[in-house]
């Protein structure tokens, strides 16, 4: 796809076609990079557009002293650092306070002012368009939701250094050159970033990913429980210490029984109230929930991202942000008469959609 800023020019320069052909294969991995830095799919898309605009403007001066990929990452990283000067970190509810084990105590009060939440990313961002082995390797596991949430606890330059060194595996000297600093400073920043990351390390560090067939079965059973308003079926899928988060609400639950009671009282309703469509986000199984509206249609409601183990679900983050559906190629509504048919059409092979390649 030709970059938007190239499409909109009244008169294309002789280099436009060459620029698009050479740089477009890196777009998806640049989206993933900016997403890791910002924790937002909306901002990642905007910043990659800005990266391409800056790259196009200076393309005539690109002398090939570094690879084109490195040059684009340099621009993207600095665009992200500039953006982060004006933004606070994007948390999940579990990053703001303690959980509750009392389902009756969940008030679902409006979130505190000034909080901008982490967003999930489309699973296709894990599959770079380029065949560069380095790009493929960097994608594996590096977009998992808990890890991206942990990145948000780092200072912007710490975040950049850790991602460039530990995710993308760039040499310290290259990172120093990119950020306009010294190799010694990069090593020192990386050490501090690793220590901070260990302090807020994802709770799922010890979780082993299940085989793809088991993941598919867990997701299908989870969706069926919601569609049938089956509280017992839902709780049987959860680990005893499972978590349930619902941004933009800051409250979150821990414990299979508490989640079941809350789901029965506040979420599930009656059978047929919810329709679920299988998808995937951040390398994890996910389900798009559509709720029955007064007009009989099912309207986009929440995107559930699951953390699965070989035997159960360890955690769910239900993003109550219908605007996210467009990023996943999902419609904003399902007509009631054909909801099931549309869901099947959107995901003809749930095993392929909901179960990305496991990390190696």
Average pLDDT over residues 164-174: 94
Which pLDDT belongs to residue 261? 93
Q: Is residue 264 part of a domain?
A: yes
- Name the domain count of the chain: 2
Query: Residue 147 domain-assigned?
Result: no
Q: How would you classify the pairing of strands 313-319 and 284-292?
A: unpaired
The answer to whether 97 and 68 are in contact (CB under 8 A) is no
What's the alpha-carbon Rg for the chain, to the nearest Å? 21
Portion of the chain with pLDDT greater than 90, in percent? 62
Give residue for tokens 């967003």: 119
Contact 173, 183 (CB under 8 A): yes
Flag whether pLDDT at 350 surpasses 60.
no
pLDDT at 207: 57
Q: Which of 57, 87, 117 represents a domain boundary (last residue)?
A: 87
- Region 229-257: what's the mean pLDDT? 94
Read off the pLDDT of each residue in 205-234 and give the average, rounded to a whole number: 84
Q: What is the extent of the structural domain holding 23? A: 1-87
Contact 168, 36 (CB under 8 A): no
Report the CATH number that the domain containing residue 257 is assigned in CATH: 3.10.450.50
Q: 45, 60, 87: which is the final residue of a domain?
A: 87
Domain finish residue from 87, 116, 148: 87
Average the pLDDT over 257-285 and give the result.
93
Q: What average pLDDT does the chain have?
A: 84
As a whole number of angstroms, the distance between CA 277 and CA 342 comes to 9
In whole angstroms, what is the distance from residue 170 CA to residue 69 CA?
A: 12
Q: Which of the four pLDDT bands, split at 50, 70 and 90, describes residue 47?
A: very high
CA 93 to chain centre: 15
Beta bridge partners of 285: 280
Rounded CA gap, 222 and 226, in Å?
7
E strands of 219-357, at which residues? 238-245, 252-254, 274-281, 284-292, 298-308, 313-319, 333-334
Single pTM value for the model: 0.84
Structure tokens at 169: 């595996």
> Per the domain annotation, does 291 fall within a domain?
yes
Nearest to 30 by CA among 56, 50, 6, 57: 50
Residue 12 has pLDDT above 60, yes or no: no
């Amino acid at each position: 796809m030709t970059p938007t800023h190239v499409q909109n020019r009244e008169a294309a320069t002789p280099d436009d076609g060459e620029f698009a052909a050479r740089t477009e294969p890196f777009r998806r991995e640049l989206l993933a990079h900016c997403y890791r830095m910002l924790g937002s799919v909306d901002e990642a898309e905007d910043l990659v557009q800005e990266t391409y605009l800056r790259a196009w403007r200076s393309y005539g001066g690109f002398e090939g002293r570094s690879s084109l990929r490195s040059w684009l990452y340099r621009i993207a990283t600095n665009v992200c650092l500039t953006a982060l000067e004006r933004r606070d970190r994007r948390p999940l509810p579990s990053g703001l306070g303690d959980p509750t084990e009392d389902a009756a105590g969940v008030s679902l009060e409006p979130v505190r002012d000034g909080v901008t939440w982490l967003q999930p990313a489309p699973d296709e961002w894990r599959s770079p368009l380029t065949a560069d082995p380095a790009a493929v390797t960097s994608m594996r596991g590096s977009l998992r939701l808990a890890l991206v949430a942990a990145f948000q606890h780092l200072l912007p330059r710490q975040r950049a250094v850790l991602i460039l060194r530990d995710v993308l595996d760039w040499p310290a000297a290259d990172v120093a050159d990119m950020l306009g600093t010294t190799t010694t400073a990069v090593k020192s920043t990386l050490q501090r970033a690793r220590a901070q990351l260990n302090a807020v390390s994802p709770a799922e560090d010890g979780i082993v990913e299940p085989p793809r067939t088991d993941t598919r079965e867990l997701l299908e059973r989870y969706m069926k429980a919601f569609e049938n308003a089956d509280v017992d079926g839902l709780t049987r899928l959860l680990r005893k210490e499972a978590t349930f988060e619902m941004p933009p609400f800051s409250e979150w639950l821990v414990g299979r029984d508490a989640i079941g009671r809350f789901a029965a009282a506040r979420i599930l309703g009656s059978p047929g109230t919810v329709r679920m469509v299988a998808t995937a986000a951040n390398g994890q199984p996910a389900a798009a929930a559509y709720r029955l509206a007064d007009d009989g249609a099912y309207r986009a409601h929440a995107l559930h991202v699951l953390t699965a183990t070989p035997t159960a679900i360890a955690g769910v983050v239900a993003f109550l942000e219908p605007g996210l559906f467009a990023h996943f190629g999902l419609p904003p509504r399902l007509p009631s008469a054909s909801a099931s048919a549309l869901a099947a059409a959107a995901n003809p092979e749930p095993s392929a959609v909901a179960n990305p390649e496991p990390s190696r």
